[in-house]
Structure 1
Amino acid sequence: MILLGVCTLADVPSSKPRRSPKPQERQRDPERTRALILDAAEAEFAAHGFQGARTAAIAARAGVNQQLISYYFDGKHGLHQAMSQRWQERRTELVPPETPLPEQFRRYALEALHNPDAVRLMTWGGLEYTGADSDPDHTPRARMLEHSVDELRTLQEQGRLPAELDPAALMVMLMAAAMAPTTLPHVIEGVYGTDPRTPEFLTHFADQVSLLVRALGRDTE
């Protein structure tokens, strides 16, 4: 999924002066510490959204001094930007160039199984969204969709999608479908009578999303 962003509201600068970490804290492996903080931030933001997340809770999850968050990321907003960059790198690995559209969306749907916090972050991003002006990473994330929209537009030009169909609207609908196990678990459980979080269901659902894309494009591979 194009998991295109993780939160939308800018951080409010703290009035407290930044403190450099103690010497023993600086002796930590910087990359390992950064990774621990990012993992903890992802879990905390996924649970509470950007507004509800607290840097103290992130530090506790990571097992580090809270000052290290300011030292490495310049606060919560810096974490937002770092996680956005992390997702862009993840997306490149998830759907390399030339990945067929049906497989792209199958992999996006499977992120609910392999990377559930990232999908929850994207959901929170939508709930907290107040406009592009409050979301500095909006444009880079939006551009991540352009390639797939262009693929749909090419299919349309080839006569494999109805001429009256808006490729951008179709992209949004397909992304919504891929995210449904996270955004509509209660609906899924009501329809299927099963837990939408199980590996068996998520694998089945991802395959169904892939079949839908293939049918829309009359075999887009």
Structure 2
Amino acid sequence: MVEERKPRRSPAGGERVRDAERTRERILEAALVEFGEHGFAGARIGAIARRAGANQQLISYYFDGKAGLYRALIERWREMSAELNPPGAPIGDVVAAFVRVGAEQRHWVRLLIWQALSGERDEGDREFRQAMVGDLRRRQREGEIDPGLDPGFLQLALFGAALAPMVLAQFAEDFTGLSPESPEFREAYIEQLRRLLAHLGKPA
């Protein structure tokens, strides 16, 4: 007796949407690695497609090509940054969150370094960074930060502090005797930054 085969069911609309979302996420994750390792100029769409296990044409379909894919990653970083700085969070907690992201998701750090080295930025970059400085001004008005400090220079210092263990890994190990990849380094570094930041509200 021959078993009757049931006709293959076409995916429902909701399933197609979920499949599209998963594919889009795989492409973004693959792009983060590729851009993080090679920068925008060195990244290859074919390599991203292979890493994502997706058809190269889907990158054009979902993101309008390489530039659109890069912009999507930068926008995701902005969203992540907003989540790391929730309303009411003390400055020490915010810096600690950025340090942890740098340690646990290193391709984001590499992406930012490549962006800085290239000198390229889109229209939203300056506005986004000025908003970060604006947040420090708000903290000054609320008394969390010494009003005598320049918020622009302070933001630069804090951003550099968050990236330092990744950017200056050998220096970090030589200075502290701990591998910057270790949890011991990360938590000790965060604790020292918290102590440093606790003095920001005290005028010199």
Q: Please state which band the TM-score falls in when normalised by the shorter chain.
A: 0.7 to 0.9
Q: Percent identity?
A: 40
Q: Note the residue ranges of structure 2 that are not aligned, 5 or more in a row.
A: 1-15
* Counterpart residue number, 1:35: 25
- Aligned letter for 1:211? R
* Counterpart residue number, 2:85: 95
Aligned: 1:172 with 2:156? yes
Does structure 1 retain, via aligned residues, the 8 Å contact 2:32–2:108? yes
Does structure 2 retain, via aligned residues, the 8 Å contact 1:56–1:66? yes
Aligned with 1:115 (options 105, 120, 130): 105
Render the CA deviation track for 1:52-99: whole Å, top value 9, x for unaligned.
111111111111111111111011110111112212222222221111
Aligned with 2:189 (options 205, 213, 218): 205
C-alpha separation in 2, matches of 1:140 and 1:37? 27
C-alpha separation in 2, matches of 1:94 and 1:161? 22
- Shift of residue 27 of structure 1? 8.8
* Counterpart residue number, 1:5: none
Larger Rg: 2
C-alpha separation in 2, matches of 1:152 and 1:99? 10
Aligned: 1:85 with 2:75? yes
* Counterpart residue number, 2:146: 161
- Shift of residue 137 of structure 1? 3.2
* Counterpart residue number, 1:65: 55
Aligned: 1:138 with 2:125? yes
- Shift of residue 160 of structure 1? 5.6
Secondary structure class of the residue paired with 1:99: coil
* Counterpart residue number, 1:104: 94
Render the CA deviation track for 1:123-145: whole Å, top value 9, x for unaligned.
11111114xxx533323422441
- Shift of residue 48 of structure 1? 1.1
Question: Normalization by structure 1: what TM-score?
Answer: 0.76
- Aligned letter for 1:89? E
Render the CA deviation track for 1:161-217: whole Å, top value 9, x for unaligned.
263x31211111111111101111121122123321122212221222222111222
- Shift of residue 109 of structure 1? 1.1
Does structure 1 retain, via aligned residues, the 8 Å contact 2:178–2:184? no
Does structure 1 retain, via aligned residues, the 8 Å contact 2:140–2:147? no
Q: CA RMSD in A?
A: 2.2
C-alpha separation in 1, matches of 2:144 and 2:182? 38
Which structure's relative contact order is higher, taking Cα pairs within 8 Å and 6+ residues apart? Answer: 1
Q: Note the residue ranges of structure 1 that are not aligned, 5 or more in a row.
A: 1-25
> 1:142-153 counterparts in 2 under 5 A?
142-153=129-140
- Shift of residue 45 of structure 1? 0.9
Which runs of structure 1 show a deviation greater than 4 angstroms over 4 or more consecutive aligned residues?
none
- Shift of residue 36 of structure 1? 0.3
Bigger shift: residues 142-151 or 52-61: 142-151
Does structure 1 retain, via aligned residues, the 8 Å contact 2:172–2:180? yes
Does structure 2 retain, via aligned residues, the 8 Å contact 1:178–1:206? no
C-alpha separation in 2, matches of 1:159 and 1:201? 27
C-alpha separation in 2, matches of 1:91 and 1:204? 23
